[in-house]
Amino acid sequence: GENVEQHPSTLSVQEGDSAVIKCTYSDSASNYFPWYKQELGKRPQLIIDIRSNVGEKKDQRIAVTLNKTAKHFSLHITETQPEDSAVYFCAARDSSYKLIFGSGTRLLVRP
């Protein structure tokens, strides 16, 4: 089955700097890769996603890149703000529409 690895587990950046979180997946049949932001005690919120027919997608300060050959995808947050502090999860969707999640990255943006 699908296996998703995520790095780093924690990331601390200064406000205004960029943050990058990386994930790898194992199943070449996976074709949809969402990123979720989860604040303490809250639901995961979809922040951006990418499908296997594109290599990059951007939405304001957030971008995601996908390398199908290497089976890895990354989340890029530019001009980070304290409110970006949260846990971020990547996921890969397998052929049965199940999302397999990475282990999460705790992002701390220092004011």
- The stretch among 16-24, 54-62, 68-76, 101-109 that binds other proteins (CB under 8 A) is 101-109
Of positions 7, 58, 98, 110, contacts other proteins by CB under 8 A: 98
Calculate ∠ Cα 19-21-26, nearest 5°.
165
Question: Dihedral sign, CA of 29, 61, 45, 13?
Answer: positive
Q: Going residue by residue from 31 to 70, which x/- string records binding to other proteins, judged by CB under 8 A?
A: -x-x-x----xxxxxx--x-x-------------------
Write the single-letter amino acid at 20.
V
Rounded CA-CA distance 48/46 in Å is: 6
Contact residues: other proteins, CB under 8 A: 32, 34, 36, 41-46, 49, 51, 89, 96-104
